[in-house]
Structure 1
Amino acid sequence: MNGGMNVLPQNKYGEILEQLSRIPFNTLFARSVLELKANGLVWADNQDNPKTVFIANSYGMSLLFGDTERQGFNTSLRHYMLNKDGERSKYEYLQVYPDKWNSKLQALLKGKIINHDTLANQYPQRELEAMLEKHRKSHVFQWQRVNFKYAGTNKTINIDPQYKIKLIDSNIWERIEGSVIPKYFWKSEENFLLDGIGYALMNGNDIVSIAFSSCKHENYLEIGVETAEKYRGRGFARQVCQELLTYCQKNNYIPVWTCRKENTGSYKLAKSLGFIESLILPYYELVH
């Protein structure tokens, strides 16, 4: 099929992997979809010879890349980004490549993109939050996505004897709650336990904080972190992340960290662990 955003059959995913490998920033979440490690969907302008591709990971991250001038695809893309059919009810954040897509989206969405930094310079925090909520169902927000590079060294962190770090197993998996947790990044518990890795900081039977591989490909391991609400702000995430970094060092994995720059908790945690900024990209929150 030609003309719009056509669902690409899974037997075509392998053809997209080579194109994906040429993108010069972190796309592991998209690769996980193509390699069937994570749930998601792939659309293309043409099922037989795709020139423009959109990969949506079910966690809520997506990637658009390829030819910017496929008119039928772009019409469907505008419809999708503005949630014209009302099917999207949760966050979805989009990255694009090449850079030409950023100006293309400005033209395509015709005033429907609001730059968060511009608003943040005009309004105090409370008014800013109200402004965001007011426009969230009608406009796309542009944020900043930070790619980090690990420049730290392995550290030993002393943990209060009250707390223990345990490998995430089937029993712990079933009890993990939150928004950044393994079940949202992996196709199944079995896939995670076979191919992933993660640690949980425990207070008795309480899961205090977890650090886990949200994506794991070749010698790259992307880190996901979640801390139970009642334990936040006490440095527990740093302790369990250090355990995962030690695992990476011992097993020759390159740790990967990316986050929205405006997510100050994740941003500061990355810096405290020895990650440094390597690239900042536009990051689009789609209408929902």
Structure 2
Amino acid sequence: MYSQFGGVNMITELNKQEFYKVRHITDQCNNIEVRAVINGINPGWVYVDHPTEITAALIWTRGQAGFQVVGDSQNKHFLNGLEAYMTNYIEPKLKKLNINWVEISGENESWAETIQAIFNKRNISNDIQHVFKLKGDMESSEFQDENITIQRIDRELLKSRRFGNQSFLEDKISHFWDTIDDFAQHGFGYIASHNNDVVSLCISAFVADQTHAIDIETLEGYRRRNYGASVARAFVEECKLNGINPYWDCSPENTGSIRLAKSVGMSLCFNYKIFWYNLM
């Protein structure tokens, strides 16, 4: 089923079985999250300028709770209807999910200028994001803690429900994946556990072909103890063994994340611009 707004040739929402129609636009996208949604691996929404002759698309990734616009940044039909479509159709959907902001980015500088122009009445803010990829060797590490166990996340570990805070692990996976089985089929990860609790984890958040976007989190109270570095190191080592390309996305202000990315051999690959505004 299609949902249309603004008449013929304006904006159409595709169902998941039709996402493949956008691949001719997204296959060359730098941002893995877009390709992960279009390939049907990670959950999201897709809105296009035409049901079949697609030249521009707006893609929402659930794990990021953000949008990216791709394709022709000068498509008049798409651009003229985008703000009204956001107001009348998409923003109410976000509010039902208790999301009170819109975050949107573009594939290139042309889209960045277009986004700024379309939403200039929304008190829109902007910043850049860094993306790191594996280009070097890991820093040597002598970190050891006999009270911490590093384990690979697999189906057996997930089904065992052996951890006191199992919900921390499951909620983190469910944030990016439709099901735990989807994660186990397409992604992988590592945890650090202490006293039968998961205290740090590093997982595949988005997957497109042989590229895995990393999500990493360490519980408050266990930070600055190298637990995050330990699970990130294990994750990247497996990537190197299996020909997987790790992909690390973070803000310039997140100096700890940048330092950690560099410590496991990753280097800045590209930047992209993001915009956001609050929903009233």
Q: TM-score range by the shorter chain?
A: 0.7 to 0.9
Stretch moving more, 165-174 or 261-270: 165-174
1:186-215 deviations in Å (ceiling 9; x for gaps): 121011112210111000211110001112
Determine the C-alpha separation between the residues in 2 that align with 1:214 and 1:157: 28
Which 5+ residue runs of structure 2 have no aligned equivalent? none
SS at match of 2:168: coil
SS at match of 1:18: helix
Q: Which of residues 179, 183, 191 is equivalent to 1:188?
A: 179
Describe how 1:254-269 pairs up with structure 2 within 5 A: 254-269=245-260
Question: By how many angstroms is 1:256 displaced?
Answer: 1.2
Q: Which of residues 46, 49, 53 is equivalent to 1:45?
A: 49
1:205 is matched with which residue? 196
Q: Which of residues 60, 72, 77 is equivalent to 1:56?
A: 60
Stretch moving more, 3-12 or 71-80: 71-80
1:228-260 deviations in Å (ceiling 9; x for gaps): 122123221111100101111221212111112
Stretch moving more, 78-87 or 271-280: 78-87
Determine the C-alpha separation between the residues in 1 that align with 2:43 and 2:248: 21
Determine the C-alpha separation between the residues in 2 that align with 1:103 and 1:78: 15
Determine the C-alpha separation between the residues in 1 that align with 2:170 and 2:220: 11
1:233 is matched with which residue? 224
Question: By how many angstroms is 1:32 displaced?
Answer: 1.8
TM-score, with normalisation over the residues of structure 1? 0.80
1:167 is matched with which residue? 152
Q: Which of residues 9, 13, 16 is equivalent to 2:15?
A: 9
Which 5+ residue runs of structure 1 have no aligned equivalent? 113-137
Determine the C-alpha separation between the residues in 2 that align with 1:260 and 1:165: 27
Determine the C-alpha separation between the residues in 2 that align with 1:265 and 1:74: 38
Stretch moving more, 221-230 or 178-187: 178-187
RMSD: 2.7
The alpha-carbon distance between structure 1 residues 271 and 92, as it changes in their structure 2 partners (threshold 3 A), is farther
Percent of aligned positions with the same letter in both sequences?
22
Aligned residues: 260
- Asked if 1:78 corresponds to 2:83, the answer is yes
Q: Which of residues 153, 159, 163 is equivalent to 2:137?
A: 153
SS at match of 2:221: helix
Question: By how many angstroms is 1:11 displaced?
Answer: 3.1
Determine the C-alpha separation between the residues in 2 that align with 1:229 and 1:179: 18
The question of whether the paired residues in 1 share the 8 Å contact of 2:189 and 2:202 is answered with yes
Q: Which of residues 50, 68, 74 is equivalent to 1:69?
A: 74
Question: By how many angstroms is 1:76 displaced?
Answer: 3.7
TM-score, with normalisation over the residues of structure 2? 0.82
Determine the C-alpha separation between the residues in 2 that align with 1:106 and 1:222: 27
The question of whether the paired residues in 2 share the 8 Å contact of 1:145 and 1:258 is answered with yes
Determine the C-alpha separation between the residues in 2 that align with 1:82 and 1:260: 27
Question: By how many angstroms is 1:91 displaced?
Answer: 5.0
The question of whether the paired residues in 2 share the 8 Å contact of 1:144 and 1:262 is answered with no
Stretch moving more, 61-70 or 200-209: 61-70
1:104 is matched with which residue? 114
